[in-house]
Each structure stands twice: as C-alpha cells, then as structure tokens.
Amino acid sequence: MRADEWLVLNPLQISLFARYDSRSVDSGNDNQTFRSVLDTGIEFIQGGYVLDPGIALFSIKLIPTYTYGKYSDISDKSSIDDTNINYNIWLNILSANIIPVGARLGAIRSATTSGGGFGSYTRTKIESNEVRIDWKNSFFPANFTYEERTFQNLFRSGLSGTSSSRDELTNALRLKARSSRMNLFLEAFELNDRIEGRSNDFNRYQGRLLHRLD
C-alpha cells in the first residue's frame, strides 16, 4: 500500500500575524513609564488521518513567533527579545467504536505577552502534555487521564516598577466515569513550586461520587 493511500492530509493552512501595543503613562514626580510590545509570527495548521478518521485522526498547529518589548521608568529599563515555537498537537486513536478502548495524545506550548493598565505587562509560558485512555462502555463509559503541565508567569507593574513571578510544575491523574444515574470523579494532583527560596508545594487528593436514586 502506497503512502498516499493510507495517509490523507487536509489542505495546509498558513497565516501571518503581527500585533503591536504601546503605552506611556505619566504618574507624576517626573516618573514616566513607557511600555511597548511587538508580537509577530506565522501559523501552520495541518490535519489529516491514517486509513480512516475513526482509526487515527490528528491535527498539528505550529506557530513560530518573535516578541520584542521595551519597558522603562525613572529607575529601571528592561526588554524582551524572545523567539518561540508555540504548538498544539493532538492525535485521536481508535475514536470510532471498533473496539471498546481508545486514546488521545496531546501536547500544547504557548508563550504570550499581554499589556495591562498603567503600562504593566504579563509574560506567560505554558507547556502541557496529556495522555487519555477512553473506555467506551455503553453502560458506564470512563476515561483515565495523565497530565503534566508547566506554568511560568512574570508580571511587571507599570506604576511601581516591581515584578512578581511564578514557576510551577503540576502533575495530575484523573479518572472520570459517567452513566445515566452515576457520576464518578477521582483525582491525584501535585504542584511543585520551582521558585528558589519559596515553597508552595502541595498534594491534593479528591473524589466525588454522585448517584441518582429516582
């Protein structure tokens, strides 16, 4: 069997984007805050399937980006000069009712810069990887999910010039099951605070079972 017989690709989608945000704030006492952010990039989206959409269906979104930003006030100057490859990729395996088990694999990366009031800005980076197993039972369908996620956030105030940051790694195991009368949810969640000198680590375990008697 030739590759063009078992691999079917949708038309490739390509788009360009550019976003620019600039703001200057005079807070008195000769303190003027200036902030500007330029985001540019190109987006590629490619989808398709292998043999049949119910066997293996996939989507790949790649977004190479370039971000340049400047920040200045009476006492400080800083800049952002950053390139990233954001992506959103997923693969559904055996989503059709061929056998009672299916799976979904997903990976997401996102880096964004957003401006706020009075010249502030927020820089956020998120990476997430997920594996989900589906049990396609007609009486009590269920899915089991493992997710690993990193979250990095930097906030810079336009008034005071102070900054705050977060750098967290989380891991989660989740079981969800549902029928016409019952709803089950179990979760084991772990957070690791990766900021040096600060410890907000915690573990959380929760469960919920709802059953309708009527």
Q: Is-above-0.75 flag for pTM?
A: yes
Q: Where are the chain's structural domains?
A: 3-211
pLDDT number for residue 210: 92
pLDDT number for residue 20: 85
Would you say residue 188 has pLDDT above 70?
Answer: yes
170: burial class by Cβ within 10 Å (0-12, 13-18, 19+)?
Answer: middle
Would you say residue 142 has pLDDT above 90?
Answer: yes
H or E element in which residue 5 lies: helix 3-6
Would you say residue 109 has pLDDT above 70?
Answer: yes
Would you say residue 113 has pLDDT above 90?
Answer: no
Taking the CB of residue 102, how many other CB atoms lie within 10 A of it? 19
pLDDT number for residue 166: 86
Predicted confidence (pLDDT) per residue in 33-56, tens digit: 677 778 899 999 999 999 888 899
* Cα-Cα end-to-end distance for the chain: 55
Mean pLDDT of 48-70: 90
pLDDT number for residue 160: 60
Predicted confidence (pLDDT) per residue in 153-162, tens digit: 888 765 566 6
pLDDT number for residue 28: 60
Mean pLDDT of 75-92: 82
pLDDT number for residue 24: 72
More confident position, 157 or 211: 211
- The confidence band for 80, taking pLDDT boundaries of 50, 70 and 90, is confident
pLDDT number for residue 190: 96
State the Cα–Cα distance between residues 148 and 156, nearest whole angstrom. Answer: 27
State the Cα–Cα distance between residues 74 and 88, nearest whole angstrom. Answer: 40
And the tokens for 68? 């340049």
What is the pLDDT of the chain when averaged over all its residues? 85
